[in-house]
């Protein structure tokens, strides 16, 4: 029967861009969820804006370029770029309405009730008004630069993501004076959220201060209208790689050109006059569908700053304590610990400090000969960079692959590549035409019995900042086969080596695709032989058509497939005879779900893999990625337990229904389980036991979940560790 089904039928696929917008709606739902702390809801609304901005800068910009050249090819769902662009703008307009409805009807009244006020000019006290008057004259006025727009001075360039004021003015002593126009950029060097004197949590936005006194920049002119606007430009980086010899220079050149990309989105005040709106649309060469009229402050990312500026810890997530095994801290030899057994880390509940400590100890250990590492995204003040430099200065062979094409981290990575070279490290830029997205560290150490390789592999970046709010899994091991595989990967990245096979790892491009396809084919054989089989996967996004078609084929054969997909999911559930055996969950909560888990249970033979790759075409075909096994039985079981805990989540989980809508889990008669808060509570328990000298056994990890029916409410632990 399955041979008669066209698993690539466009009706079986959701458009990738529309699915991403569905994800952002789930983030918006967190802003509207009254069970979340109030200031966290404010932050979630700000996150929906930053998410949208990046989406438009890259994905919508790409659709606009394809539409401009009249490309008529279709995606997996059968839509042309022009159709996608129209559908995306329609859905994004609807989202804008919901964003500002959430702000104006829900969040602003709620924060007002607890004494947090975002004030307008009219609501200021006399003391506060005198304060902003002085602030304007003393701080803002010397920096502001009004730009006239007339026949001798053309419309100025408006930079991406900058906040601007557009003005209509006339000369005040001329009754017949014609209308003139000007533009004023709101300087980004000043905080957008200005704290006011008086009440502890009174604030005003900087653009409102400037609007009130803007007439002082146009002496002898009347201000007829002043309106805020913002543009989002095409910010995709276009680097044509023939070789990597001058890749750094090419990236730097493209970074300069990127600032002048086409306008993809224009946001204007909802009360802007038709005349001024028409002028902006004309001067910025914007399509009408790309104009967004905003009923409130333009650019909601300011909400993150507002929430951070408020002294109201009771309105934020309560803190938890991340756990670090003593064997992996600075008081112990981390290599001895890894020799004893492998270590699995679940960030942020397990401290990322252990990963940093791995590199720190390698940089000063006299027996370490070499360190090799891939860097995709690192923080602005990365301790790992510092320790890699120290290792090179200590005479160790240090090789670092820096991916200078990591989107929106290009400038940061170019900077670190230069710094690493100055410190004596060998810096490489990977393979032509491929991004290196794998997360690998290799430490080569001379020991009594010869050379031993120590490896860290992870699902997330070596970024000590995002490790506090991204969920990821990492493995420390000195398994010999894995060590050989990782050595071969670095030789492949830095030289001409192409190993014929890998012992334990599977590498993209193509290797991960082939492996998962093979596992799904094996699962089909099992169900046809009436043997039990269960596939469980967790990823950020699922969009590769070939992979989805294979999942449909397995489902049609009768394979039970559970998927946790945080973001984009182009697969449809509940298609009769096609995807009835596939269930899709999405978890959106306090932390950004980022780990990738691939579990295959063949009649009790549980195979556990972690990966840096999602099931997207770019990850499977155009990036260097790794998928690696968790071989130590207790750690493999822990990964399974982690997955099953997330699958049992009934607080932050939405289930993808057959109608394409994500719906909350019905938990009537069941105790609430928020998996992220459960993990945080478990980490806190371990950390407290450690601090009180009731030290867990070496290598202690989180306790397995109880069965869902007997699961205690993690919010009501009686030992005080239920900080969530």
> Which residues are catalytic, by number?
437
Task: Return all residues near 193 (Cβ < 8 A) that are at least 6 apart.
Answer: 203, 205, 206, 302, 305, 306, 309
The pair of three-digit structure tokens given for residue 279, joined into one six-digit string: 């002028």
| Residue 420 DSSP class | H
Alpha-carbon distance of 255 to 35, in angstroms, equals 42
Nearest to 498 by CA among 624, 370, 369, 375: 624
Half-sphere exposure of 386 (CA within 13 A, CB side): 11
Kindly report the length of the chain: 724
Residue with tokens 């000063």: 364
Three-state SS string across 609-666, please? EEECCCECHHHHHCEEEEEEECCCHHHHHHHHHHHHHHHHCCCCEEEECCCCCEEECC
Distance of CA 527 to the CA centre of its chain: 37
Distance of CA 412 to the CA centre of its chain: 17
Q: Is 385 helix (H, G, I), strand (E, B) or coil?
A: helix
Q: Residue 82: what are its φ and ψ, rounded to 5°?
A: -65, -40
245 preceded by a cis bond (ω within 30 of 0): no
For the sheet with 263-269, list strands across it.
146-149, 180-185, 163-171, 221-233, 263-269, 291-294
Nearest to 208 by CA among 89, 297, 320, 138: 297
Task: Return all residues near 649 (Cβ < 8 A) that are at least 6 apart.
Answer: 585, 587, 665, 673, 674, 675
Torsion region of 430: left, alpha or beta (phi above 0 gives left; psi -120 to 50 gives alpha): left
Half-sphere exposure of 121 (CA within 13 A, CB side): 10
Query: Under a CB-based contact definition with an 8 Å cutoff, are residues 108 and 144 in contact?
Result: no
């Amino acid at each position: 029967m399955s041979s008669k089904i066209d698993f690539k039928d466009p009706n079986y696929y959701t458009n990738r861009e529309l699915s991403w917008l569905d994800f952002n709606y789930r983030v918006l739902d967190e802003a509207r969820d009254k069970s979340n702390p109030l200031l966290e809801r404010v932050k979630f609304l700000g996150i929906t804006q930053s998410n949208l901005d990046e989406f438009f800068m890259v994905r919508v910009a790409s659709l606009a370029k394809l539409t401009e050249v009249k490309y008529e090819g279709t995606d997996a769902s059968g839509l042309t770029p022009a159709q996608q662009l129209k559908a995306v703008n329609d859905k994004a307009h609807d989202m804008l309405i919901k964003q500002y409805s959430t702000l104006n009807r829900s969040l602003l009244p709620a924060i007002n009730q607890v004494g947090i006020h975002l004030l307008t000019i009219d609501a200021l006290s006399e003391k506060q008004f005198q304060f902003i008057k002085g602030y304007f004259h003393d701080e803002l006025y010397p920096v502001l630069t009004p730009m006239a727009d007339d026949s001798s001075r053309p419309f100025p360039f408006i930079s991406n993501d900058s906040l601007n004021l557009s003005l209509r003015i006339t000369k005040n002593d001329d009754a017949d004076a014609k209308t003139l126009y000007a533009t004023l950029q709101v300087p980004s060097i000043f905080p957008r959220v200005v704290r006011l004197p008086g009440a502890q949590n009174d604030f005003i936005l900087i653009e409102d201060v400037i609007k009130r006194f803007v007439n002082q920049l146009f002496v002898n002119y009347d201000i007829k209208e002043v309106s805020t606007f913002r543009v989002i430009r095409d910010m995709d980086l276009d680097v044509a790689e023939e070789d990597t010899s001058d890749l750094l220079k090419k990236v730097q050149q493209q970074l300069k050109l990127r600032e002048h990309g086409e306008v993809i989105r224009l946001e204007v005040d909802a009360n802007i006059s038709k005349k001024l709106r028409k002028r902006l649309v004309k001067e910025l060469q914007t399509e009408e569908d790309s104009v967004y009229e905003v009923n409130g402050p333009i650019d909601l990312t300011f909400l993150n700053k507002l929430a951070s500026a408020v002294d109201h810890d009771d309105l934020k997530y309560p803190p938890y304590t991340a756990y670090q095994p003593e064997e992996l801290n600075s008081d112990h030899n981390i290599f001895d610990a890894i020799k004893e057994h492998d270590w699995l880390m679940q960030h942020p509940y397990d401290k990322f400090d252990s990963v940093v400590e791995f590199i720190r100890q390698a940089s000063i250990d006299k027996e370490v000969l070499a360190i090799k590492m891939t860097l995709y995204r690192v923080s602005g003040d990365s301790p790992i960079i510092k320790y890699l430099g120290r290792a090179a200065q200590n005479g160790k062979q240090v090789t670092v692959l820096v991916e200078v094409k990591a989107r929106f981290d290009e400038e940061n990575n170019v900077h670190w590549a230069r710094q690493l070279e100055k410190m004596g490290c060998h810096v490489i830029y990977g393979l032509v035409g491929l991004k290196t997205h794998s997360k690998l560290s290799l430490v080569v150490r001379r020991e009594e019995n010869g050379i031993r390789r120590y490896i860290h592999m992870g699902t997330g970046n070596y970024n000590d900042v995002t490790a506090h709010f991204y969920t990821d899994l990492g493995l420390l091991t000195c398994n010999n086969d894995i060590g050989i595989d990782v050595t071969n990967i670095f030789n492949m990245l830095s030289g001409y080596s192409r190993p014929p096979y890998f012992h334990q790892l599977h590498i993209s491009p193509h290797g991960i695709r082939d492996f998962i396809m093979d596992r799904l084919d094996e699962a089909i054989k099992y169900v046809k032989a009436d043997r039990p089989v269960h596939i469980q996967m967790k990823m950020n996004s699922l969009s590769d058509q070939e992979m989805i078609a294979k999942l449909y084929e397995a489902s049609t054969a009768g394979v039970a497939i559970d998927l946790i997909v945080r973001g984009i999911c182009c697969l449809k559930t509940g298609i009769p005879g096609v995807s009835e055996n596939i269930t899709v969950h999405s978890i959106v909560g306090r932390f950004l779900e980022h780990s990738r888990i691939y579990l295959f249970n063949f009649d009790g033979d549980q195979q556990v893999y972690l990966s840096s790759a999602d099931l997207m075409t770019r990850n499977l075909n155009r990036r260097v990625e790794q998928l690696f096994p968790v071989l130590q039985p207790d750690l493999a079981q822990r990964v399974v337990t982690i997955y099953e805990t997330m699958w049992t989540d009934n607080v932050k989980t939405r289930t993808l229904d057959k109608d394409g809508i994500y719906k909350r889990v019905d938990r009537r008669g069941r105790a609430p389980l928020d998996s992220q808060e459960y993990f945080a509570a478990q980490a806190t328990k371990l950390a407290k036991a450690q601090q009180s000298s009731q030290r867990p056994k070496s290598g202690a990890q989180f306790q397995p979940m109880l069965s869902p029916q007997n699961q205690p409410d993690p919010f009501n632990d009686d030992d005080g560790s239920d900080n969530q």
